[in-house]
Amino acid sequence: MCGIIGYVGDQSALDVALGGLRRLEYRGYDSSGVAVVGAGALRTVRRAGKLANLEKLLSEGPERDPMPGTTGMGHTRWATHGGPTDQNAHPHTDCTGAIAVIHNGIIENFAALRAELEGIGHELTSETDTEVVAHLLEVELGNAAAAQAGAVPEDVAPGGPAASGAAGVPVAQHPLTAALRRVCRRLEGAFTLVVLHRDFPEVVLGARRNSPLVVGIGQGETFLASDVSAFIAHTREAMEIGQDQIVEARRDGVTVTDFAGEIVEGRRYHVDWDASAAEKGGYPYFMLKEINEQPTALADTLRGRLSADGAIVLDEERLSAQDFRDVDKVFIVACGTAYHAGLIAKYAVEHWTRLPCEVEMASEFRYRDPVLDRSTLVIAISQSGETLDTLMAVKHAREQKARVLAICNTNGSTIPRESDAVLYTRCGPEVGVASTKTFLGQVAACLLVGLYLAQVRGVLYGDEVAAYVERLQRMPDLVGRTLHRLEPIRELARGLADAKAVLFLGRHVGYPVALEGALKLKELAYMHAEGFPAGELKHGPIALIEPGLPVIVVVPSPRGRAHLHGKVVSNIQEVRARGARTIVIAEDGDVAVEPYADHLIRVPATSSLFAPLVTTLPLQVFACELALARGLDVDQPRNLAKSVTVE
Ligand code: M6R
């Protein structure tokens, strides 16, 4: 959800914050704001609407005075509490205007805290949950100052230098850090907070619980951000911040402590992509770039997955082969597009391993009390690694002693850290809100996990696994060739810009592909779109068919299970008989569909379980082109955000 950047160094904090926000805007774009500490003052500027509104205000409006200072922060918002107005935009300040706070997440007990603050005379001016944090800090700093006259509070050394010490050792810290720690202990819910104080330009603080925060470590400068893209133009050295931790960032480094005040070591890592990977590279939209990057994203995800002795290689494995052999059922948890990748995985996992596999929307998983134990494997799929619904499902699974394997695109994110094993999709940064290349990466990763399970459990022979992997490694080439032949679907999409609705049908792995096609169209073109199992249609939804309604049908290979193909061909005839305009996605050489296709989109032939890697492509292109024909912004569709860090 919201994008956050904090900075302390030698550069203009405003420039760094705005540069970071441009890269983070995909996380939320309802409003934005900046704060800078300099020349003994704290200045904040914020504006409803996209970042361009804030930039305009800063360059042309009454706020155009320069904001001098080399300590600052910026925020781009996806509204939760309070609408997307100037007043609700972050940063939020306390009564004195000395403290500024930005926040990602939801503070669940904010109403009680707000009532308490108002009861002691604080005036809160927004409808947000965030603002209470600025006022609570004001209270804590006031209490500390008062106590300083008498006894020093337990973990405060007022005005003292930033502490250093060994991990696990309680230390005295900056007064702002100590105050933030006491505030964090009172907060319930999920939060990443970044805090500035007018009188402490030497530090910028961050805190996190169930919400992302990474540190960028430069030469004489330090960054705090929701993700590395915000500071990748300045440094590729990063540090993870763990759950319930506070980072005190200074020019010369950081001190990380937990909410109890003990020093902890953050894990440092090098980011293996550079700023150009998160730029449009000549494309008008990130989505178009990311669609075209799919062959590379897939190839990178699959590279080096087969060891010299023929075993599949995961990235981080904190489980033994015996743990995997003990697995007697598999759950896949994920949201949105990642959930669709999970639905595809089910077919492969059950076929290859003969283990029962259930796929569950992460937001529902823990509420239905699933039966989990030590021999359950839960596969959590998440591009961002920060989706709170998926993270909570992971935590629930681990509490029940299940083993958790994460499939994730973001190194250093929370879900892989909370899991027992990880397989990274190496798709590079995905900026467009609609997932495209990471969906392909997730499908490929799921197939690898299915093969891995089959291998360790001895269900498939080593040479069988190797043969599958080798065939999978030929898929990027097929994906590239498919992308080069999609002009007919672009043209068709442009002609359907005024359609009211589109239905998507599929069977077997074509069904999740149909769901994904419908999701893409809903989120990008704001059209009514539904995906159905082709066979289910006549149990009700067929009543939706009316003359001219576009129905896209994903047809399985006739070389796969013959009866499956034949059934789908019958389903095409059923909808066509009722007046539907049929758009048929079928492999080269499938002549049986020709009489019933008003529009025929050809894709290269491939094996049944790998087919989604090509049949999804025309649906991505269809939704993107149709949305563009409607004049919509495909990178930042309304009401959405790339990373959903609230439940
Ligand atoms: O980061 P995640 O993969 O966990 O995100 C899950 C969904 O929010 C995401 O797949 C969403 O549905 C897509 N961006 C839609 O295109």
Three-class SS state of 299: helix
Mean pLDDT of 28-46: 94
Domain region containing 496: 483-635
Largest CA distance in the chain: 90
As for ligand 1, residues whose beta carbon falls within 6 Å of it are 335-338, 382-384, 387, 390, 433-435, 523, 643-644
Residue where a domain stops, chosen among 273, 296, 316: 273
Choice among 202-216, 260-274, 369-383 with the minimum mean pLDDT: 260-274
CA 614 – CA 619 distance, rounded (Å): 10
**DSSP-assigned letter for residue 304:** T
| In a shared domain, residues 578 and 522 | yes
Q: What's the CA-to-centroid distance between 479 and ligand 1, angstroms?
A: 21
* Residue bearing the CA closest to ligand 1, atom 8: 336
Mean pLDDT of 486-506: 96
Please give the number of the atom of ligand 1 that sits closest to the Cα of 434.
16
* Residue bearing the CA closest to ligand 1, atom 11: 336
| In a shared domain, residues 203 and 289 | no
Q: At what angle do helices 475-483 and 612-629 cross, to 10 degrees?
A: 30
Q: Best of 211, 285, 335 to mutate for ligand 1, by most ligand atoms within 8 A of CB? A: 335
Please give the number of the atom of ligand 1 that sits closest to the Cα of 390.
4
Residue where a domain stops, chosen among 273, 296, 321: 273
| In a shared domain, residues 166 and 212 | yes
pLDDT per position as a tens digit, 14-29: 999 999 999 898 888 8
pLDDT per position as a tens digit, 54-72: 999 998 866 667 788 999 9
Mean pLDDT of 456-474: 92
Instruction: Tell me how many domains the chain contains.
Output: 3
User: Is 584 within 8 Å of 600 (Cβ atoms)?
Assistant: yes
163: pLDDT strictly greater than 50: no
Please give the number of the atom of ligand 1 that sits closest to the Cα of 410.
1
User: Is 54 within 8 Å of 32 (Cβ atoms)?
Assistant: yes
| In a shared domain, residues 303 and 247 | no
Q: pLDDT higher for 325 or 157? A: 325
Rounded to the nearest integer, the mean pLDDT of the chain is 92
150: pLDDT strictly greater than 80: no
Percent of the chain with pLDDT over 70: 96
Catalytic residue numbers, as ranges: 2, 642
pLDDT per position as a tens digit, 223-275: 999 999 999 999 999 999 999 999 999 999 999 999 999 999 988 999 988 87
Q: Record the pTM.
A: 0.82
| In a shared domain, residues 370 and 238 | no
Whole-number pLDDT of residue 368:
86
Q: What's the CA-to-centroid distance between 336 and ligand 1, angstroms?
A: 5
634: pLDDT strictly greater than 80: yes
CB neighbourhood size of 544 (10 A): 17
Q: Best of 435, 438, 446, 522 to mutate for ligand 1, by most ligand atoms within 8 A of CB? A: 435
| In a shared domain, residues 360 and 418 | yes
Identify whether 548 is part of a domain: yes
| In a shared domain, residues 467 and 489 | no
pLDDT band for 539, please (50, 70, 90 cuts).
very high
Whole-number pLDDT of residue 420:
95
Q: What's the CA-to-centroid distance between 334 and ligand 1, angstroms?
A: 8
| In a shared domain, residues 320 and 268 | no
| In a shared domain, residues 417 and 492 | no
CATH code of residue 169? 3.60.20.10
CA 107 – CA 105 distance, rounded (Å): 7
Residue where a domain stops, chosen among 418, 445, 473: 473
Whole-number pLDDT of residue 621:
98
Please give the number of the atom of ligand 1 that sits closest to the Cα of 439.
10
> DSSP for 357-402?
EEEEEHHHHGGG-----TTEEEEEEESSS--HHHHHHHHHHHHTT-
